Amino acid sequence: MSNKNILVTGCAGFIGSNFIPYFLNKYSNYNIVNLDLLTYAGNLENLKEIEKNPRYKFIHGNICNRELLEFIFKEYNICGVIHFAAESHVDNSIINPGIFVQTNVQGTYTLVDVAKNYWMIKPFCYKDEYKEARFHHISTDEVYGSLNEHDLFTEETPYAPNSPYSASKASSDMIVRSYQKTFGLNTIITNCSNNYGPKQHDEKLIPTIIRNALSLKPIPIYGDGKNIRDWLYVMDHCRGIDLAYHNGSNGETYNIGGENERTNLQIVDIICAILDIQYPIKDNFPQNNCKKIASYKNLITFVEDRAGHDRRYAIDATKIKTKLGWMASENFETGIVKTVEWYLLKYRNDCL
Ligand SMILES: NC(=O)c1ccc[n+]([C@@H]2O[C@H](COP(=O)([O-])OP(=O)(O)OC[C@H]3O[C@@H](n4cnc5c(N)ncnc54)[C@H](O)[C@@H]3O)[C@@H](O)[C@H]2O)c1
C-alpha cells in the first residue's frame, strides 16, 4: 500500500516542530508536507533532525494563499490536514490584532475550504478516494475565557474569548465546526492548555525566564504573578493530537490538559531553583557581584500587568482520557527539568 500524504501547517514553530519528528518516527506510512510562512515565530533550525527525511517536504508559503493551497493539494494528493499554523502570542495580539484575524481566521477558512473542495463532491458526499480524509484543527483552551477558582473547562464550556488572540482562535474553531455541520467535512478540534518544552520561541514565558536568568537580567513577571495556567509538556500534547487524529470521532472536540495548574510565580520559582542547582551563580558568574545576587530568584521583577490578562485556565481532560485513552506522561516537576536542561544548552553560549 502506498503512503498517505498529509499537510501539516506551521511546523517550523514550537509545537509543530516537536510533532513532525515524533510522527514520522512513529508512522512509516505517512509522508508529511509542512507548509509554513516562516514568520518571526518559525525557524527551520527546529526541524534540522528531519530535513533530509525522504518522507518530509517543506514548502514556504502562506495558508491564506488559496492558489498555493490548491496547488499543494493536487500536486501531493493531500488526504489529511493537521493545522497548527497561527499567530500565537497574546501580547502581540494586543499590539497588532489585524494579523491574528488574517492568519487565524482568514487562513483557517481558506485552508478548510480548499480541503473541502478537494475531498468532496457536494455536502456530505466524499470522493471515493478521500473517504478517510480528515481535517484536524489545533486550538487552545483560551477560547473558553477566564475561570473562577474552582471550575474546569470542559468541551461544553461556552466560548468566551477575551483577547484578540483567543477571539481569532475561537473564530477559527467556529469555522471548522461549521464545515462539519454544513458540508459533512470530517473534522476534529483539539483545545489544549499552555504547552512548555524544547523549541519554544524566545518571547514566551518559560524561555524568557531562563534566558534572562542566564544573563543575570531582571525576570519580568506580570502583575502579582498569581495568574494560573494549566501546563502540559509539549510531547504529551503531540501524543494527544496523534490519538485524536487517528481515533477521534468525526465532529468531536477534545480538550487536552495536564492537570498541572501553576501560578506564574510558582513557575519562575521552580525554574530558578533548578538553575540554582544546575548552574549556580557563584560558580558561573565569578566576575559578577554575586554577593548581591545569591539566587536567580533575586532577579524576579514585577511589571505592569498585561491588558485583559485572564486570571485562570484549567482543563478537564476526562473526555480524551476516557474515550481515547490519553494520559500525560510528564508531570510539571519532571517536564520542567527536561525543559530547563534543553534551554541551558541553547542559551548558555548565547548569554555568556
Ligand atoms: N503554545 C501553546 O501553548 C499552545 C497551546 C494550545 C494551542 N496552541 C495552538 O497550537 C498551534 C501552534 O502553536 P505554537 O506555539 O507552535 O505556535 P508558534 O507561534 O510557535 O508557531 C506558529 C507557526 O505558524 C507559522 N505561521 C504563522 N502564520 C502563518 C501563515 N499565514 N501561513 C503559514 N504558516 C504560518 C509560523 O511561521 C510558525 O512556524 C497554534 O494554532 C496555537 O494556537 C498553542
pLDDT tens across 38-54, in order? 999 999 999 999 999 99
Pocket test for ligand 1, best of 11, 15, 60 (most atoms within 8 A of CB): 15
Kindly report, residue by residue over 292-328, the tens digit of the pLDDT. Answer: 788 999 999 999 988 888 889 899 999 999 999 999 9
Centroid of ligand 1 to alpha carbon of 201 (angstroms)? 10
Which residues are known to be catalytic? 141-142, 165
Q: Which residue did the predictor score with more confidence, 203 or 335? A: 335
pLDDT at 142: 96
pLDDT at 258: 87
In sequence order, what are the beta bridge partners of 35? Answer: 9, 59
Q: Which residue did the predictor score with more confidence, 169 or 2? A: 169
Reply yes or no on whether the pLDDT at 289 is more than 70: no
pLDDT at 96: 96
pLDDT at 306: 87
pLDDT band at 218 (very low <50, low <70, confident <90, very high): very high
Centroid of ligand 1 to alpha carbon of 230 (angstroms)? 18
Q: Whose CA is nearest to atom 32 of ligand 1?
A: 62
- Give the pTM: 0.96
pLDDT at 342: 96
Class of domain 4-200+234-258+313-330 as given by CATH: alpha beta
Order of strands, sheet of 187-192, starting from the edge strand that comes earlier in the sequence: 56-60, 30-36, 4-9, 78-83, 134-140, 187-192, 252-256
What percentage of the chain exceeds 70 in pLDDT? 98
pLDDT band at 351 (very low <50, low <70, confident <90, very high): low
- Could you tell me the residue ranges of all domains in the chain? 4-200+234-258+313-330
Instruction: Tell me the average pLDDT of the chain.
Output: 95
Kindly report, residue by residue over 92-136, the tens digit of the pLDDT. Answer: 999 999 999 999 999 999 999 999 999 999 999 999 999 999 999
pLDDT band at 2 (very low <50, low <70, confident <90, very high): confident
pLDDT band at 291 (very low <50, low <70, confident <90, very high): low
Kindly report, residue by residue over 152-191, the tens digit of the pLDDT. Answer: 999 999 999 999 999 999 999 999 999 999 999 999 999 9
pLDDT at 213: 96
Q: Whose CA is nearest to atom 7 of ligand 1?
A: 140
Q: Whose CA is nearest to atom 18 of ligand 1?
A: 13
Atom index in ligand 1 nearest the CA of residue 195 equals 3
Read off the pLDDT of each residue in 264-277 and give the average, rounded to a whole number: 97
Q: Which residues line ligand 1 (CB under 6 A)?
A: 9-10, 12-16, 35-39, 41-42, 62-64, 84-88, 103, 107, 138, 140, 169, 192, 194-195, 201
Q: Supply 243's cell numbers.
A: 490519538
Read off the pLDDT of each residue in 136-150 and give the average, rounded to a whole number: 95
